[in-house]
Amino acid sequence: MRHSLKKILLLVLLIVTGRSNAQNPTFFSVSDTVFVAENAEVHVFGNIVFSGNSAQLFHEGFIQTYEDVNPGNFEIQNDANIYSIGNYKIDNDWINNGHLMIDTGEVEMYGDNQFFDGDSISRFYDLLLTGTSAKEQLQDIRVKHELDLTQRELSVHDQMLYIDNGDPLAIVFDPSYGLEGIISTDEDGIIKKLVFQNQMNVIPTGSNATIFRHRPLRTTLKSAALDTMYVTFHEHSPDLVNAFAIDMDTSLCYIQDEYFYTVTSNQPTNRFELLFSTNQAIDGVYPDLAKWNNPTWKLVYNQISDNADPNYYYVGHADQGDFIQDHYTLAHRTPKRPVIDADTTECYFTSDADCIDPLGQPLYQWTLDGFNPQIVNGQGTDHIDINWNDTIGGFIYLQYQDTEGCWSFPDTVYIEDVHVEASFIDVSQPGTNEYGGNFVFHNTSSYNANQFDWYFAGDHETTYNHDLVQHSFSSPDGTGGDYNIYMVAQDTENGCLDTAFALIHINQMFVFFAPNSFTPDGDGFNDTFFALTSDILKIEMKVYNRWGEIIFDNEAENNSELLVWDGRYSGELVQSGTYTYIFKVWSDNQYVPNLQVFEGSVNVLR
């Protein structure tokens, strides 16, 4: 083809200057065909302009522009044609209004305030951004092999940037913190990146519109051999695209509304792993991911996170797809609802409540709703002690607040009063308690008790109904006494217990006993006559012979003195026979007359 060209300008070393004419480009070709050989270099102080469909450049060497009197642009105007495998180093703007075909080679934009401009897409093989300040797109550009941002910003504005290389390393940038290269899409431009299956691509999205943000997106195609990702980093509130930050479902506490992402692909049914970055020191704490699901933002579940990078925290989802201009932003979820652990049936006036699976600090807010309940201690923690005071039962509410001030939805438990009241009354026949006998007790416990254990001075009996319970009490020696009774009433369904007590008094019996015979023969057995008595203040004893003559007469003041007749009268044993006696007893037993008289007879046997 080259041999058929009518006019070829071969440059081995060409240095062109234009300081004498500030109004015109330094190098300007309208109809010429220019060939730059493999080892040739072209250095131009000013602009290089190819204009018109007859102007052609075949470039295999090196071309550099310098900003001088003229800016140092490289311009393709009016359908001019560029065929290139060489390298470029451009000090000012790259303007393409013609036909650009770059098969290999590198274009380095090394100046300040540089633009990609024109009405045609500029297609580069390798594009290197150095120099100072941002490089700005006023046209779509494509990079076939490698885009090296170094520390620069490529500002896409409202244009498109195509990265036609699926290699994860097709976009290169300086990773030094605060100096990273970024691709900004502040005016909702689009980055299109070819991706291959199971290869993680880092797209260094970000912004420098208000503050510098390097907020890269990590993406991995999961479900196909290849696809093209469409990514936009928006340095503005989602409100501007009608994805209003205020419209959040209940899964979210708040979202990042200073910036957000839009992500889609050529094949929206493909599945991707997406990881979005945040700098928590600058942006605030956003540990979760939200997706716009018209008409609300909602929490993205099955999320993954990566905080291996000390400067950037990545939050994302392992399996995203079905993209239809999906908006994503970082978020803080509503804390999960705490779950109250408390007995829903309460027996006693004091109880407690816990949070199942505690969520950590800082704050648990407990609320009681009842007649007059009180949180005794534990407010703010995951355990409280409760005093129901006058009336058991009511509602317990628990709400949790996390370290970012986000409140959970409350959990609620209703506590039912199932306490048992044990009671019984003595319905025995009158007089039963004087000296013992069969006592009868009526069970008056609360209706919800269904088992009753009775304890009668060591004896145990179990009943299962509200009924009459009988028990016999006696005092074999007549001394009487007090007997404890208690009954335990139980609600076996809820395990509630209560106990009722009573004291049964058995009166002391008055005892009098006198034998009907004795043998005063000195053998030590049944030698005397006396009476057994109880509760004595004073006692008198008189014994008479058959003629009514008193042969023994004595008295004692209390039980400690025993009246005894040894069968003698005037020092001599009386004859065998029957003798009468009279005992007068003054008793201190309140249940018998104060003075009692006992008469009888006794046989003296010799």
**Given this model, what pLDDT does residue 22 score?**
42
The single residue listed with the structure tokens 């309460």 is 346
Residue-by-residue DSSP string for 342-362: --SEE-SSEEEEEEES---SS
**Given this model, what pLDDT does residue 324 score?**
62
What are the phi and psi torsion angles at 433 (to 5°)? -85, 5
**Residues 6 or more apart in contact with residue 152 via CB below 8 angstroms:** 129, 130, 131, 133, 134, 135, 181
**Given this model, what pLDDT does residue 15 score?**
43
Q: How distant is the alpha carbon of residue 37 from its chain centre? A: 70
**Given this model, what pLDDT does residue 7 score?**
37
pTM score = 0.71
366 with 353: CB under 8 angstroms?
yes
Pairing mode of beta strands 296-299, 132-137:
unpaired
**Given this model, what pLDDT does residue 349 score?**
93
70 with 26: CB under 8 angstroms?
yes
**Residue from 259, 183, 266 nearest 228 by CA:** 266
Task: With H, G, I as helix, E, B as strand and everything else as coil, classify residue 547.
Answer: coil
189 with 161: CB under 8 angstroms?
yes
Average pLDDT of each block of 10 consecutive residues along the chain (606 residues)?
A: 37 40 70 93 96 96 95 96 97 97 97 96 98 96 98 97 97 95 95 97 95 95 94 96 95 96 90 93 93 93 83 89 79 94 94 91 92 95 95 96 94 96 88 68 94 90 88 68 90 94 77 87 89 81 92 81 86 92 82 80 91
The count of C-alpha atoms lying within 13 angstroms of the C-alpha of 91, restricted to the half-sphere facing its C-beta, is: 16
Distance set, CA 593 to CA 397, 480, 596 (Å): 70, 18, 7
**Given this model, what pLDDT does residue 436 score?**
62
481 with 460: CB under 8 angstroms?
no
Distance set, CA 600 to CA 344, 511, 513, 533, 543 (Å): 75, 16, 11, 15, 10
Pairing mode of beta strands 272-278, 217-221:
antiparallel
